[in-house]
């Protein structure tokens, strides 16, 4: 489709290679470049739980995600600004994307009220009452010094009838226009719109067209990975991507599982975020080339193998499964740290492998090998 008018002097995006619908690109920001397809580690409250900034960078992570809702409540956006912004506050020199907080506010259910003006809600911390409008969401992200600001959107419940979905999507479009107007661009920063519309193709296309008319530096797909199933998610991506500008990054929010990301990249998605690798690491689940492992299972208690023999992370190089199993059974804090380190490294290795496959024009071969390894499952020790 035709390119929208340039938003100067925002973030830059260049598509370096293509393989079918998949793209290998580079997104430039004030705090550095991000190679795409990219996975953003989630640092909701200005920290990726259990890891130092140095360990995060060592995983291959180039961009972090922070969250407007959590940071506005604690420690407060104005305080972060007085302390030099989020990069200085958390000692992360690379790019940061900030989620607008819409998902978190909408998930409060009985504690929030949605109007055309915005959302009024009670804090989950102390019950204090707050108002989050599109303008305030953008202001908070400016105070945090985000490289990429996300618009405030209404996260439509799933399932919902088509009329409810349409009303919600159109309210999000009106909020997006207000966010765009409130955004104050500076070199290397940008603002992304969020496509809503549930699982209704016509509403997704209407949302995308409305956002492109407003004009954004990038476009996210929201309202997916909410229980609709992988094939429905894929169909929604396929319906939406052609309605988005070819020269702007596409971000699938809240996804996901390794297989979901591989399939989404093949359908034209460039960016992902999800708590899964870090949250799973804290609960004993490891992601490997042969699928997911539960390190709490008794079968690992005398297993001398690495989690993933082909992984180069410090966890796999230095600690056998038996030791990791022991740490989780003994409830030692080192267990979640080591597993989080591995999971994040694995996700970044997967992104790097996808980029390489697209560059080589061998994405189909890569996906076939990936699926075969995942299906084979983990092997018991001999």
Q: How far apart are CA 4 and CA 294, in angstroms?
A: 47
Task: For residues 321 and 315, give the distance between their C-alpha atoms in angstroms, rounded to a whole number.
Answer: 10
What is 3-39 written as a DSSP string? PPPP-TT--EEEEEEEETTEEEEEEEETTEEEEESEE
Which residues are designated catalytic?
99, 273
Inter-residue contact 191 to 183 (CB < 8 Å)? yes
Which has the closest alpha carbon to 56: 71, 46, 41?
Answer: 41
Phi/psi of residue 374, each to 5°?
-65, -40
Question: Structure tokens of 113?
Answer: 């009220």
| Helix ranges, the chain (H) | 53-58, 68-73, 77-82, 86-90, 102-106, 134-144, 162-182, 201-214, 230-240, 258-266, 276-283, 314-318, 321-329, 334-360, 363-376
Asked if residues 143 and 77 have their Cβ atoms less than 8 Å apart, the reply is yes
In degrees and rounded to multiples of 5, residue 73 shows phi and psi of -80, -35
């Amino acid at each position: 489709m035709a390119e929208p008018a340039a938003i100067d002097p925002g973030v830059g995006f260049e598509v370096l290679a293509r393989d079918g619908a998949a793209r290998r690109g580079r997104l430039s920001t004030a705090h550095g470049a991000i190679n795409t397809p990219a996975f953003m580690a989630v640092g909701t409250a200005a920290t990726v739980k259990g890891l130092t900034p140095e360990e995060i960078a060592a995983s291959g992570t180039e961009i972090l995600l922070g969250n407007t809702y959590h940071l506005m409540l604690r420690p407060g956006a104005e305080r972060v600004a007085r302390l030099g912004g989020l990069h200085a506050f958390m000692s992360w020199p690379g790019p940061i994307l900030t989620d607008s907080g819409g998902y978190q506010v909408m998930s409060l259910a009985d504690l929030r009220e949605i109007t055309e003006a915005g959302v009024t809600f009670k804090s989950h911390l102390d019950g204090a009452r707050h108002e989050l409008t599109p303008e305030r969401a953008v202001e908070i992200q400016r105070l945090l010094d985000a490289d990429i600001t996300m618009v405030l959107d209404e996260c439509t419940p799933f399932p919902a009838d088509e009329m409810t979905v349409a009303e919600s999507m159109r309210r999000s479009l009106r909020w997006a226009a207000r966010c765009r107007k409130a955004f104050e661009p500076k070199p290397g920063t940008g603002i992304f719109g969020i496509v809503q519309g549930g699982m209704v193709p016509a509403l997704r296309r209407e949302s995308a067209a409305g956002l492109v008319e407003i004009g954004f530096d990038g476009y996210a797909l929201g309202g997916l990975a909410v229980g609709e199933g992988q094939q429905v998610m894929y169909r929604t991506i396929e319906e939406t991507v052609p309605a988005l500008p070819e020269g702007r990054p596409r971000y699938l929010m809240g996804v996901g599982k390794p297989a979901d990301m591989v399939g989404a990249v093949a359908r034209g998605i460039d960016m992902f975020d999800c708590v899964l690798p870090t949250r799973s690491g804290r609960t004993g689940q490891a992601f490997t080339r042969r699928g997911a492992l539960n390190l709490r299972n008794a079968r690992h208690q005398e297993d001398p193998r690495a989690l993933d023999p082909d992984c180069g992370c410090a966890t796999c190089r230095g600690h056998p499964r038996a030791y990791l199993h022991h740490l989780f059974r003994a409830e030692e804090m080192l267990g979640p740290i080591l597993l989080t380190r591995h999971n994040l490294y694995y996700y970044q290795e997967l992104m790097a492998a996808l980029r390489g496959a697209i560059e080589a024009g061998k994405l189909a071969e890569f996906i076939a090998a990936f699926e075969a390894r995942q299906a084979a499952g983990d092997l018991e020790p001999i």
